[in-house]
Structure 1
Amino acid sequence: MIEIKDIFKTFGENEVLKGISATFQTGKNNLIIGGSGSGKTTLLKCIVGLHEPTKGEVFFDDENFTTMDFTQRVPIRTQIGMLFQNSALFDSMTVEENILFPLNLFTNQSQSEKLDRANFCLERVNLTGKNKLYPSELSGGMKKRVGIARAISMQPKYLFVDEPNSGLDPQTSILIDDLINELTDEYKITTVIVTHDMNSVMGIGDHIVFLHQGKKWWEGSNKEIAHTDNKELNDFVFASKFMQAAKSKL
């Protein structure tokens, strides 16, 4: 479980996050949604320590991550898997080398053990035999799956995903959502996903935090969204569905 308490984040005079508190549930897909500029990615970066909150606290299974120094954070960071929006693969490395990167950095496993783990992760994301390909030889969906394989290579307790369906066609987006959902359920991971994709929200949104103007504006499940009277959330849902419908006709 991940808990955030009263998170503020200011850049200069720009207050991006304004006192956000939430609990992200183990074994569930926890989605952070909201319009552009609402603070979604900033909040994600504050949780994983890429940004330091101006005020507030982040807890990983009751351990206060915010008050830890760099060395104290290492054991928690080794339990974190991260899929960035653009997959963030190393272009000069093969698929296999990309997946081995965190294993080489954080474990003392033998080379054969690390290769076994890399092959298992590739099999898990349906990319068996793609070890020696380079990112330039992969489709957008394949890059995302390699990114997921690398993110789960350390058998994480916590998985953070930033816009997993960005730049993907609807069919590939569904495949990525299904894969994340399966991994979350199978390994009982605390998964936190930043997305603007309403198909993802309605498909795998076990627990949803809606941000508006840097504040937590609504919280609930995908089943509750259809019945909410929250005007800003309804406006966001309608606009998102309208844009997705328009794009599908292009």
Structure 2
Amino acid sequence: MIEIKDIHKTFGENKVLKGISANFIAGKNNLIIGGSGSGKTTLLKCIVGLHEPTKGSVFFSGENFTEMNFEQRVPIRTHIGMLFQNSALFDSMTVEENIMFPLNLFTKQTAAEKLDRANFCLERVNLAGKNKLYPAELSGGMKKRVGIARAISMQPKYLFVDEPNSGLDPKTSILIDDLINELTEEYNMTTVIVTHDMNSVMGIGEHIIFLHNGEKWWEGSNKEIAHTDNKELNDFVFASKFMQAAKAKL
């Protein structure tokens, strides 16, 4: 389980996060939702250590990650998988090399063992045989799947995903959601997903945190979200569904 306590993040005079506390449930899809500028991605980066909170603490399985130095964080980071919004693949590396990158960084596996793991991960995301392609040769959906393959290469306990459906068509978005959901269940991972996609929220949102103006405004499941009387959440849900319906007609 991941626990965050009273997380604040300030950039100059801009208070982006204002005292957020929450638990992210092991073996579940934990979604962070909210409008643009609500602090979703900043919170995700604070949890994984890409940003240091101005105030507050992050705990991984009871260990205070925030108080650790770089060296002390390494054992926890080896259990973290991350899929960035733009997939963040290295353009100069092949698919195979991209997936093996964290294995080269954090393990002492032999070249054969790393290749076996890369092949397994590619098969798991339905991209077997695409080893020697470069990112420029991949579609948007394929890049996301390679990003997921790299994220699971270390068999992580924790998977963090930033806007997995950004730039994808609705059909591919559903395939990516289904894949993340399957992997979460298969590996019993604590998965944390930042998204504004209401199809994802209703499809795989087992535990949802809604941010509004840098604060936690609502918390619940996708089954509860349809019955909430929270005005700001209802406004967000309605606007998101309206925009998705409009895009589908274009």
Q: Deviations over 1:216-246 (max 9, x none)?
A: 0000000000100000000000000000000
Equivalent-residue separation in structure 1 for 2:223 and 2:68 (angstroms): 37
Trace 1:1-250 onto structure 2 (pairs within 5 A).
1-250=1-250
Report the CA distance between 1:54 and its aligned residue: 0.3
| Structure 2 counterpart SS, 1:153 | coil
Which portions of structure 1, spanning 4 or more consecutive aligned residues, are displaced by more than 4 angstroms? Answer: none
Equivalent-residue separation in structure 2 for 1:142 and 1:122 (angstroms): 11
| Structure 2 counterpart SS, 1:97 | helix
Runs of at least 5 residues in structure 2 that lack an aligned partner in the other structure: none
Question: What code does the residue aligned with 2:210 have?
Answer: F
Q: Deviations over 1:136-159 (max 9, x none)?
A: 000000000000000000000000
Equivalent-residue separation in structure 2 for 1:148 and 1:34 (angstroms): 23
Equivalent-residue separation in structure 2 for 1:78 and 1:187 (angstroms): 15
Question: What code does the residue aligned with 2:238 have?
Answer: F
Q: Deviations over 1:111-145 (max 9, x none)?
A: 10000000000000000000000000000000000
Equivalent-residue separation in structure 1 for 2:141 and 2:107 (angstroms): 28
Question: What code does the residue aligned with 1:37 have?
Answer: G
| Structure 1 counterpart SS, 2:30 | strand
Task: Return the TM-score normalized by structure 2.
Answer: 1.00
Report the CA distance between 1:167 and its aligned residue: 0.1
Equivalent-residue separation in structure 2 for 1:226 and 1:13 (angstroms): 36
Equivalent-residue separation in structure 2 for 1:93 and 1:66 (angstroms): 33
Aligned-residue RMSD, C-alpha? 0.3
Equivalent-residue separation in structure 1 for 2:51 and 2:87 (angstroms): 19
Task: Return the TM-score normalized by structure 1.
Answer: 1.00
Runs of at least 5 residues in structure 1 that lack an aligned partner in the other structure: none
Between the aligned residues of both structures, percent identity stands at 89
| Structure 2 counterpart SS, 1:81 | strand
Question: What code does the residue aligned with 2:246 have?
Answer: A
Equivalent-residue separation in structure 2 for 1:234 and 1:247 (angstroms): 20
Equivalent-residue separation in structure 2 for 1:65 and 1:102 (angstroms): 20
Report the CA distance between 1:71 and its aligned residue: 0.4
Q: Deviations over 1:55-93 (max 9, x none)?
A: 000000000000000000000001000000000000000
Report the CA distance between 1:51 and its aligned residue: 0.3
Instruction: Number of aligned residue pairs: give it.
Output: 250
Q: Deviations over 1:173-206 (max 9, x none)?
A: 0000000000000100000000000000000000
Equivalent-residue separation in structure 1 for 2:128 and 2:235 (angstroms): 42
| Structure 2 counterpart SS, 1:171 | helix
Equivalent-residue separation in structure 2 for 1:105 and 1:21 (angstroms): 32
